[in-house]
Amino acid sequence: MNEDRQQSPVLEKPLSPPPYDNDKVMTEAEIPPPPSLSVIEDYEEIAKKDMPPIEEETIEFKCVHWNVTDWNKLDHRVLGPVFQAGGHDWNVLMFPRGNNQTKAVSIYLDLTNAKSTIQPEEYACAQFIICLSKPSDPTRFVSLAAHHRFTSEESDWGFTSFVSFENLQNYIEQESVRVTVIVRVVKDATGILWHNFVNYDSKKVTGYVGLQNQGATCYMNSLFQSLYFTNSFRKAVYQIPTENDQPTKSIALALQRVFYNLQFLDTAVGTTELTKSFGWDSLEAFRQHDVQEFNRVLQDNLEIKMKASRMKSYIKCINVDYESSRSEDYYDIQLNVKGCKNLEDSFKDYITEETLEGENKYMAEGYGLQDAKKGVIFESFPPVLHLQLKRFEYDMMRDMMVKINDRHEFPLEIDLEPYLAANADRSGGHNYVLHGVLVHSGDLTGGHYFAFVKPEKNGKWFKFDDDRVIPATLKEVLEENYGGEQTGMQGLNMRGRLMNRFTNAYMLVYIRECMMDEILSPVTETDIPKHLITRIEEEKRILEIKRKEKEEQMYYMKTLLATSESFKANRGFDFADFDERNAPQNGILVSRVRKDQTFGAFKADIAKWRGIAENEFRLWLLVNRQNRTVRLDMPIPDEEANSTLDEVRQRYATNQATLRFYLEEASFHENDVPVFPPSPQVGSPFALIFIKAFSPEYQSLQGMGHIYAPKDAKIQSVVGKLKEIARLEESNDILVYEEIKPSMVDRIDLNITFTQAELQDGDILCVQRNLTAEEQETILQNGGQVTVDKYLEYELGKLLVTFAPRFEDDESPELELLLHRDMNYEQVAACLAGELKVSPDRLRVINPYYQGKVPQKRFDGQKLGKVLSSGFNNNQGGGRFRLLYEKLEMSLDEIESRCMVTVTVCTPTLKDQQVVELLLSKESTMKDLLEALVAKDVSFESQSGTRRVRIFDTLHGKFHQEYDELSWKAAVSERPFLKVYAEEVPEEEMNMTEQDCFIDVFHFQRITNHTHSVPFKFVLKAGEKLEDTKKRLQARTGLEDKEWNKVKINIVSEDELEVNLVSDDQEVLFTASRPYQQGDRIGLDYIDKSTKMDRNGSGAIFIRG
């Protein structure tokens, strides 16, 4: 049962209204109440008052009454008589004593056939009012109203607390009461009216699917849907050759796959593969970007453009016959929203001429300064027109970007011929039809993006909201995305004032009417590359197989079977190597069996596989001990033959999802009948002990066999048997160790019993020959280990390390090497060089996680294990580690005797930057640095320069140090790498007077520690007005006039506690009588438009080509 708790009961009629006095002046409180309404005669008025007005068409409006008698004898659940409305059967469902509560009557409206199997898809949308009234007085009633989409999942809807039992007595009369239902069944034009979208199927309802949102990529999804339904663009994407590409490295192939899946999949399509092809990491995918910029970058990388059109920019003199013009291609148009009521106004604003006069006259060649008209005109329009509405603008007063939510109307069709040049080709007409509306809901700092698209020429509109696609009305497409003030009651705030919409269109897609058939012509399989279809269909087939396997997985389990051969194949720790990847060579049988298979049937299958009788072996359960080793636990009793394997697992290995067994073949027979020692469950006097042999000469350890050891016998008593199994001479003196766990291998005293040594079933003894002193010395000299405990300790230190090229564009291979944690740098480099077939001294191995992201040269005397355990290197999991390597053109010793210097050359202005990397000797001079820059074709030839170069570095975005010969030599000799800046010293520094001084200048955005761009030294000229100082500052920064006009100049104290804005152009910043404090700086406050990430984490869009 469901309840709409947003409604309130209608006020009940007073039992005895106060007398009305005609002669008395009435106060507000004494104004008579409105006429009482009757549920029988005035149900239409009741509906008008309590049902909110809606735009949907009414199928049928109806009022029905149910006279309920014998109230106190009613059942807990009562159904009223069935009535018809809007072509559906309805009735009232009532709980006289409450439903899931005991304080009020519960009443619901029920769609009678919604849950029937005859009409499983039946649903209805209805507004309704339920009234409960006194039989003798239809004006005394209580009512509640609601609306609902009645479906098989929610076939009834109403009110759990309709009227309290206490208040019910006002309407019960002689155990009778009237229940009235006023219902308006409405037409569901879109098919989703009041839909809760639980189990909603976009493909089934609309024929289309959406795109999954992997972060802040909904802006991207809305654009992709628009491009996808521009069928000519989709066909062009399909024509890009991608046969040999990989989806995560090829933008074209990844986009082809997205488009294919949008057409043929039944569920939302993922875009992770596509963003990976852009070169985006997971963080980049969570950033919100500008859609227009993203669209241009995407099409640049695909080398596909919507067919370009041309626009002419011109300046035409008024008084002389002179015109300067330039035609250029354009692919989209940015239109103003602010100050424009509609799209037509925006186009008129775009082509409005500007008059150049007064101080702004135009310099016409041959005519001098002239009054002129400046403007643009369209020479042609493209078949598909992308219009960018400028919803985001810079607010000078607030010094920040803001969203423009003003109302801006756009039509379903627009004629663009009035905006064409007089000599433009007008054939075919220039009527454009709206095809897509891209919408942003929210403010500048965030929000949500979605799109409305009309995929077919004469089709319907749909809303594409990430993974959900729903039908849309024209009101949703147009009116609700114009912006401006909201209309109706929903647009009022708590004070009754109209609120602005924060949901509005920011991009419009129009298609030229005469070309719609061509642009929207259906995309068929013949348009899709065959290799793409083959590849995706094969992937689907594999996924379907995996899906079925996963479905069946709940009925299956895995078993691993070890044999004596498995133990003998083990050359390392533990009983056997159970790594399934190496199962065949390790002698492990991996099986996928049904959980309900009996243990007896499983054992029969094993017997068949082994080729022996079932009574010739028994199966021991292998378990994980607390010390993380795998050992025998107990043989499975014969009594479990009829138990299922899952029951066996739950009984004997509860904490293991996989059953592991050891197959023990009979070693003894009596009268040709196999005999096994008693099971440990019944107190066997024997322990099944496994034997390994260690060969110091060959540095090898191998499983050899097993013995049944008498628990009460001394270990010395089985030494002969141990020698035999280990294949040692009878005369050899032996050492015996117990392999408890990899880090614990203890020597065994042969003079104690097996019980005293705490040896039990499944334990492992390692046997070796006792070496002479001379033998030990020889083995140690050869780098070997003389005892099994030392050998296993050494083996424990082995590490599998992955080596990858340091740089992405290096085509050298990625490889894995088995190394030891005690190796030093030279040993590691030698092993790697051997695999790469290069000289070790021409190879540099780098730990990429050392001290953040700074590459570490060599290991600074550390062992490999120490290096790999630091800096979060174990990023691959499973004990695997990663190092980088770099092939060198010179020896490592020679490189490390030099300094890597990264120079950002700023010439002719600070905005014009070039990054140069130099490898300089640690004894290099400033002259050597400059000569190296010249060798890299760097030149300093600015108009106001001196041809002298300043080398400096920065700290936290501030000017830090200017290098002279002494400080340069100190830095380059002591540091492995340097990052510096180089600029040409301005001529003004050569002409300084005694009154002039230097001051440091830095750039920031709003807050002084949010620095950006390149700081610099600047000459403050005594007595110079601010307007002249600003001109020199602008020249140094290289900022264009438009950007410079947004710069605010501040004097910032050394501690940055004082930031004083200076804005009066006539003010003199510096005089001899007005010096600055030590450490003061000039701070230039403006928005950072560089490519680096700003403080909000957003950055310029890039797509890896």
Query: Which residues belong to the active site?
Result: 218, 448
Give the closest residue to 694 by CA, choosing from 781, 782, 795.
Answer: 795
Tell me the three-class secondary structure of 432-481, residue by residue. EEEEEEEEEEEECCEEEEEEEECCCCCCCEEEEECCEEEEECHHHHCHHH
Angle in degrees, CA 336, 340, 345, rounded to 5: 95
- Cis peptide preceding 848, ω within 30 of 0: no
For 1023, half-sphere exposure in the C-beta direction (CA atoms, 13 angstrom radius) is 4
Q: Answer yes or no: are the C-beta atoms of 123 and 150 closer than 8 Å.
A: yes
In the chain, the N- to C-terminal Cα span, in Å, equals: 57
Q: What is the CA radius of gyration of the chain?
A: 43
**Beta-carbon count within 10 A of 768 CB:** 23
Give the closest residue to 647 by CA, choosing from 592, 593, 599.
Answer: 599
- Residues 287 and 285: their CA atoms lie apart, in Å, by 6
- Residues 937 and 935: their CA atoms lie apart, in Å, by 5
- Residues 190 and 204: their CA atoms lie apart, in Å, by 13
Q: Give me the helix-helix angle, 218-228 and 291-302, nearest 10°.
A: 50
- Residues 885 and 815: their CA atoms lie apart, in Å, by 11
- Residues 1048 and 1040: their CA atoms lie apart, in Å, by 15
Give the closest residue to 388 by CA, choosing from 292, 481, 512.
Answer: 292
Angle in degrees, CA 659, 662, 664, rounded to 5: 145
Q: Give me the helix-helix angle, 530-553 and 251-264, nearest 10°.
A: 60
- Residues 419 and 353: their CA atoms lie apart, in Å, by 12
Nearest 5°: phi and psi at 756? -65, -30
Query: Based on the number of CB atoms within 10 Å of its own CB, is 653 exposed (0-12), middle (13-18) or buried (19 or more)?
Result: middle
Q: Give me the helix-helix angle, 251-264 and 291-302, nearest 10°.
A: 110
**Beta-carbon count within 10 A of 474 CB:** 12
Query: Which amino acid, one-letter code, is at 789?
Result: D
- Residues 858 and 867: their CA atoms lie apart, in Å, by 10
Q: What is the DSSP string of 786-820?
A: SSHHHHHHHHHTEEEEEEEESSTT--PPPEEEEEE
Angle in degrees, CA 1002, 1004, 1005, rounded to 5: 165
Q: What is the DSSP string of 939-950?
A: ----TTEEEEEE
- Residues 125 and 55: their CA atoms lie apart, in Å, by 13
- Residues 771 and 73: their CA atoms lie apart, in Å, by 101
The CA–CA distances, whole Å, from 43 to 95, 452, 1070, 1074 equal 24, 40, 84, 86
Q: Which residues contact 284 (CB under 8 A, 6 or more apart)?
A: 275, 278
- Residues 592 and 91: their CA atoms lie apart, in Å, by 55
Helices (H), 63-180: 165-168
Q: Answer yes or no: are the C-beta atoms of 1049 and 1030 closer than 8 Å.
A: yes
